[in-house]
Amino acid sequence: MKIAITGKGGVGKTTLAGILARLLAEQGLPVLAIDADPDANLGSAIGIPEESLRNVTPISQLKELAEERTGAEGSGGFFSLNPKVSDIPDQFAVDYKNIRMLLLGTIEQGGGGCICPEHALVKTLMKHLLFQKNDCVVMDMEAGIEHFGRGTAESVDALIIVVEPGSRSLQTAAQIRTLASDIGIKNIFTVGSKVRNEAETDFLKSNIHEQELLGILPMDESIRQADIAGVSPFSQGGKVVKAAQSILDQLTQRSGKKTQI
């Protein structure tokens, strides 16, 4: 199963991505976690030790490798848009509890629409990872679908938009949903997050179609405690982990994709 998770900043999408990655790995499935958010925190949400995270190199910063693979160096501005990337996960991923995590990083571009060797490397890598058949993929994205194109959208089994109770979060979700539909992502779902009471649950249910809403992540003190302790929310357990398991079960049922060996 290939899952992409997005939403307005601060809604809890990284927490959900980290817990889903751990739940899938607990089933004995090989999981590839991709941190595609410039505010990169997926590693800590998974529970990868800080000393291991310090050794993770963002793919977008591999300037020399990008120039070598694309043939950009000394090419007079011409380079390949389809460089070799198949060996990159083995070289640059960090392994933890049956999860391999890659950090994409941020690509600094000189102007709108600019394509550079690093951009070509990241885009080709994303296509390669999403077309792989053996791994479950959990991708933590920024509030958008910039890493997707029409050539990769068909490989995404589900796009989960995380929202919190509030009109601005729902407006962002509507914009993402439109863009995702335009490039051909078929299974688009929503998860409510940081929900404190029944009134907020009712608010989300009244604004999200029943068939689209996968579930609700409650406001859970265990998440804050996990952050203080420097561990994954998954390790703390609590209501949010149980809710995430229910969301994964719903996702499996509605997308028609098996998540067990």
60-117 confidence digits (pLDDT tens): 888 888 888 888 765 556 677 778 888 888 899 999 999 999 998 876 554 444 568 8
Counting the structural domains of the chain, the total is 1
What does the mean pLDDT of the chain come to? 86
Report whether pLDDT(261) > 60: no
Residue bearing the bigger pLDDT, 31 or 127: 31
CA distances, 8 to each of 5, 13, 90 (Å)? 11, 8, 31
Report the CATH number that the domain containing residue 204 is assigned in CATH: 3.40.50.300
| Dihedral sign computed on CA atoms, order 103, 179, 86, 14 | positive
pLDDT digits (tens, 9 = 90+) for 110-129: 444 456 888 788 888 888 88
Can you give the pLDDT at residue 238?
85
Q: Is 91 among the domain residues?
A: no
Q: Is 60 among the domain residues?
A: no
Q: Is 103 among the domain residues?
A: yes
Q: Is 67 among the domain residues?
A: no
Q: Is 85 among the domain residues?
A: no
Domain of residue 139, residue span:
2-49+96-107+133-255
Q: Residue 163 belongs to what H/E stretch?
A: strand 158-163
Mean pLDDT for 225-246 is: 90
Can you give the pLDDT at residue 111?
42
Q: Is 62 among the domain residues?
A: no
Q: Is 260 among the domain residues?
A: no
